[in-house]
Structure 1
Amino acid sequence: MTIGSFDRFRERSADCRTRGGEMADAGGRAVGDPIPVVSYARTSEDGRRKDGHGVRYQLRINERTARAHGCVVVAAYGDSGCSASREGMARPGFDRMIEALTSGRTQDGQPVAGVVCVADDRLYRRSEDLARFSAALTSAPGRVYVDPDGVRDPYSYEGLMQAVRSLDAALTETRVRSRRVANWHWARAVEGVPHSGPRPFGWLEDRITLHPDEARLVERAIEDRISGKAARAIARDWSDLGVTGTRGGRPNGQTVTQIITAPRICGYRANKGELLLAPETGEPVSGQWEPIVTPDRWRAVCGTFSPGSLFLHRGSGAPRRTTTGRGAPRHLGTGFLRCGARRSDGAVCGGALCATKGRSRRSPYAYSCRNCGRCSISGPLADSALERLLFDDARRAAVTEDARLRWSSGDMGLEEKRRTVASVLVHCLVRPGVKGQHAWDFSRLEPVRR
């Protein structure tokens, strides 16, 4: 927060008092009426049940807190299993709450005069989110912030300082927890403890004992590859035998490559995409599991692939190290569209809509949600709607006249168009279509503007 931010909040506080915030709010609320507030809840993880119970529990606590302090909840927003410390993490519930605070009303027209939450770190763990939240909450006079400790004045110097202290505590906690988890994983790895997560192909569920059938397949694949056989040919052989991965997928050339070049097949332990070396000797750390082949055979099969294809360059948690970068997006809406379908717990899915092959000439490509599979939209129509939203914003000087003319004349390339969209919109929430309704509805796209 800058000094200018403090000054603006002080001015809003003074403005709130001079407009008679004690007698009535912006919506005409009389003295003694409950203060209408929105409720927000968030959990970083949803646990094994995946039913959003953590968000439901927080919302119940918010209801009790609101009643105890003379408030009434008029709308509830939640994000289940969403981290607030990761940059770029989609939080649809938070975005909708910001929109309600900024406009002063919920989607169904209820007035909003504040927000209730169980703790500050449920709302923000990054300075950017604190800035968005504070600006939205104080965009009108007479607003309140309510938590189990009581009612806070968001316009006052002390109210702002308390928010900043909460942010600093959240950032410190995030750093300490991240360091603690990283050290814990490193210590386990040095002792040769197997990776957690899905069992590796070739081993039983204990991740130590060899799977009799899969281990033989891996050993044979290594010998075939050293003899010159293509990874795709090995994958086809496995498919003909009915072999599937440990998560049910069909094998392909890439998965075969990852399996037969992983250090675990010769007993070596990797960590964060690097071969782990014992600090005392500098030798590779040996895992506690049974190896499939010797280290010499592992090095021999790794030598048959280009460096960018090896497990140590493309394995779990490791960046891809190839000479060519990741392919650039081929469509305007890629990365900007989010799924607006409701999950069973009532929360918005929020998953990214990915471009897929379409089924007609009018729609050669479509955007579909890979998280829930319940939202899909015609690619050309979605891109057209995105362009329309962009230039609706342009009337408010969001885009320069030169950029608008170059876009419409066809002189602007896709990459520059995407940068232009990113300068105006954070993302767009896409609501699922209505079955049997063939007319195009532009309101399916709900923009979140910068």
Structure 2
Amino acid sequence: MNDLVAYRGTGLIPVASYARTSEDFRQRDGHGVRHQLRINERTARQQGCRVVAVYADNGLSASRPGVARPGFDRMLGDLLRGSTSDGQEIRGVVCVADDRLYRRPEDFSRFYASLTAREGRVYVDPRGVRDPYSQEGLLQAVRSLDAAVTETRVRSQRITNWHWARAVEGVPHSGPRPFGWQEDRITLHPYEAVLVQRAISDRIGGKAVRAIARDWCDLGVTGTRGGRPNAQTVTQIITAPRVCGYRANKGVLLLVPGTTRPVPGQWAPIVPPERWQAVCATFSPGSLYLHRGSGAPRLTEERAKPRRIGSGLLRCGSQRSDGTECRGAMSAQKGRSKRSPYVYTCRSCSRCSISGPLADEALERLLFSAAPEHARLSETVRRRWTGGDMDVDEKRRALRSVLACCVVRPGVKGNPSWDHTRVQPVFRRVVGESP
């Protein structure tokens, strides 16, 4: 690091500041990353550095596979280039802790490859300056990775055991209150409980679940998180075991150990078990309406697969009230026109939507026309894609091998023209020859 010592003699070392939080679902104000960035500023000054670029990923896990971190990917690209997009030189990274950067071996490898792509780089944290090229510096990073992986496994198992122990005791679910109950999750909500009871009766009587959802919308009903009810959410409410006082865990009905009796919950039921069984019987096994969450199995034990190539890959680019980007995952929903039979809508804020065919066309353009040299797919993949020989799953794998995500900028209200530049790519750094 002799060249770095020489650089210290002429001025402060220019470094990139990175911050990440795993969750921000309560305050939704980005305070976690904001506090980390302030600590990074202080650490940089103390260690003879100055922050020239800031990268942050708010509410994004580093331990779950498949989670795109745009800020992290953008920082790695700038490290490889040696400078920011506006030409500021970068000679290191400052962060509050290693586990903010990586918790998985794949991210560790990508980070260190980018950091050491050029000579004279440093890694800075509150404990001091680390030499990433030395054996001790690398061993220290590997030890932190091992500790992060172990902590993730232990914490995951501890949380799983905690939820299971609460479930077998009949304790209500944690998190936002369920629709139909008050904040204590035990006492029935005087208005919502009546709606659920009436919806169950209507469904057993043959009424379409979409019609029930429309009735709720006409009454001005909103979910416990403020969203408008639709057919899937209404179905999940009326078919949840909690409506008859039964406790479930991870979508599985719990039984009293050694018996075939369901575990009773500690809350007031809305309907008797016979009514709950009757309403569940109105849905066929594997019904899409009964699907709960992106990772939960249906009644057939099969996981639901996205039907559109952009689902989950597209991220919302609308701004929150605090000025930060939403970056929520966008999923496909039924559209209202022949030109756009389906649209991609943000699942978090619902403030950003884009025509499905427009977005898919933009993704294909990015894949084959705008991808940088290191991210281009083989000619074989291109021929199979354009020839119609690839199904949705294969196309999604091809896109994932090139793109970390795509940020969709909000459209202009009243402008019917298609603008492909609304879909802005975040390319991956290392891509294989085939998906």
TM class, shorter-length: 0.7 to 0.9
Alignment of 1:63-82 (within 5 A): 63-82=41-60
Q: CA deviation at 1:83?
A: 1.5
User: Quick one: which amino acid aligns to residue 197 of structure 1?
Assistant: G
Backbone CA RMSD of aligned residues: 3.7
Question: How far did residue 443 of structure 1 move?
Answer: 9.0
* Residue 154 (structure 2) pairs with residue 176 (structure 1): yes
Q: 1:6 is matched with which residue?
A: none
Offset of 1:202 from its aligned partner?
Answer: 3.2
Distance 1:104 1:340, change over 3 A: farther
Does residue 426 of structure 2 align to residue 447 of structure 1?
yes
Unmatched segments (≥5 aa) in structure 2: 431-435
Task: Give the aligned residue type for 2:100.
Answer: R
Q: Which runs of 5+ in 1 are unaligned?
A: 1-16
Match of 2:52, SS?
strand
2:76 to 81, 98, 106: 98
Structure 2 residue aligned with 1:350 = 327
- Please say if residues 296 and 303 of structure 2, whose CA atoms lie closer than 8 Å, have aligned partners that are also in contact: no
Query: 1:411-426, aligned counterparts within 5 Å?
Result: 411-413=388-390, 415=392, 416-426=394-404
3-state SS, counterpart of residue 21 of structure 1: helix
1:159 to 96, 115, 137: 137
Task: Report if the CA contact (8 A) 2:358-2:418 is conserved.
Answer: no
Matched, 1:371 2:348: yes
In 2, Cα distance between the equivalents of 1:286 and 1:135? Answer: 53
Give the 5 Å matches for 1:51-450: 51-232=29-210, 234-235=212-213, 244-249=222-227, 251-279=229-257, 281=259, 283-309=261-287, 314=292, 318-322=296-300, 326=304, 328-330=306-308, 332-345=309-322, 347-355=324-332, 367-372=344-349, 382-391=359-368, 392-393=370-371, 398-407=376-385, 410-413=387-390, 415=392, 416-431=394-409, 442=421, 445-449=424-428, 450=430
1:311 deviation in Å? 9.4
- Structure 1 residues 287 and 317: CA distance shift in structure 2, 3 A: farther
* Alignment partners' CA distance in 1, 2:354 and 2:207: 42
1:46-88 residue CA offsets vs partner (Å, 9 max, x unmatched): 2632221221111111111111111111111112222111112
The 8 Å contact of residues 102 and 137 in structure 1, kept in 2 or not, is answered as yes
CA distance in 1, matches of 2:424, 2:378: 23
Query: How far is the alpha carbon of 1:195 from its aligned partner?
Result: 1.7
Cα 1:92–1:300 change in 2 (3 A) is same
1:21 and 2:3 correspond: yes
Secondary structure of the residue that 2:182 maps to in structure 1? Answer: coil
**How far apart are the structure 1 equivalents of 2:44 and 2:229?**
54
Look at both structures and tell me which one has the larger radius of gyration over its CA atoms: 1
Aligned residues between the structures: 426
Contact 2:8-2:48 within 8 A present in 1 as well: no
* CA distance in 1 between partners of 2:174 and 2:167 (Å): 11
Q: TM-score with structure 1 length normalisation? A: 0.80
Task: Sort the Cα spacing of 1:164 and 1:323 in 2 relative to 1 into closer, same or farther, 3 A.
Answer: closer
- Are the equivalent residues in 2 in contact too, given 1:117–1:146 (CA < 8 A)? yes
CA 36–273 in structure 1, closer or farther in 2 if over 3 Å, else same: same
Closer/same/farther in 2, CA of residues 255 and 336 from structure 1, 3 Å limit: closer
Percent identity between matched residues is 69
Q: For residue 315 of structure 2, what is the amino acid of its counterpart?
A: R
Query: CA offsets per residue over residues 273-329 of structure 1, 9 Å max, x none?
Result: 111122265532211122233333433443343233599874897422348864643
**Per the alignment, do residues 36 and 406 of structure 1 end up closer, same or farther by CA in structure 2, a change over 3 Å counting?**
same
Tell me which residue corresponds to 2:433.
none
**SS at 1:31 equivalent:** helix
Measure the CA separation in 1 of the matches of 2:99 and 2:342.
40
Rounded to whole Å, the distance in 2 between the matches of 1:234 and 1:365 is: 22
Instruction: Give the Cα separation in 2 of the matches to 1:133 and 1:35.
Output: 19
Pairing partner for 1:42 from 20, 23, 30? 20
Distance 2:196 2:356 in 1: 41
Higher alpha-carbon deviation: 308-317 or 267-276: 308-317
